[in-house]
Amino acid sequence: MAYQYDVFLSYLHEKPCGTWVSEHFLQYFRHQLGNALGGRQTSIFFDRTGIHTGQKWPAVLKQALATSRCLVGIWSPLYFQSHWCQCECAIMLHREKQLGFTGNNPDGLIAGVKVNDGIHFPDFAKVSQYADFEHLFFDSPGFAKSELYLEFQQKVKELALDIASLISKTPAWSSDWLTPAWTDDVIATIAAPAQPKVSQPLLAP
């Protein structure tokens, strides 16, 4: 096995985030990332299309993370209250740490897209160089007809260039990333809240 995905897209499924991602962000980002990568076909793991009938949700997510070059997270305070979103970030953060993407190394394997106030983000996210889409975060159909949509498209284009640069610097894939030490053991360190503020429900096929 090797890399299967350029990007693992990590986001809250609930409206408005899920709607914004599926109806506005994903399609344009995929298109612009393909351009930024020189016109080649891109592969983005998006869990509403990447999980099929009969597959176990956590197992598929872990394999997708292990075979993705980087993670793009759609960040809000509620995103960091979701146990599975925390786990997704933790797995990629662990890879960053183990491979030396820390300290004086400005590169990384996680790119944040801020869609709500970042004051309540965890420390690693606060110090990240994220893309600020907070004023462009609307899930209504009218958003695509507004003047803000032109700015949204330009911001997505700029983000795609940044992600393409990140992808070009990712290390060679390792089968170690599929082992429990890089997935299950990392997830075990993330305490599931007794009463989670935001659920990440099992998705229907």
- pLDDT, tens digit (0-9, with 9 covering 90-100), for 66-112: 999 999 999 999 999 998 899 999 999 999 999 988 655 557 899 99
- E-strand spans in the chain? 5-10, 44-45, 68-75, 110-114, 131-132
Q: What phi and psi values does residue 54 have, to the nearest 5 degrees?
A: 90, -10
Q: Domains along the chain?
A: 5-187 (3.40.50.10140)
Taking each helix axis as running N to C, give the angle between helix 148-168 and helix 26-36, from 0 to 180 degrees, rounded to the nearest 10.
50
What global pTM score does this model have? 0.88
- pLDDT, tens digit (0-9, with 9 covering 90-100), for 106-153: 578 999 999 998 888 999 898 888 999 999 999 999 999 999 999 999
Query: From the centroid of its chain, how far is CA 23?
Result: 16
Round to whole Å and give the CA distance between 107 and 126.
Answer: 16
Amino acid at 54: G
Round to whole Å and give the CA distance between 182 and 60.
Answer: 15
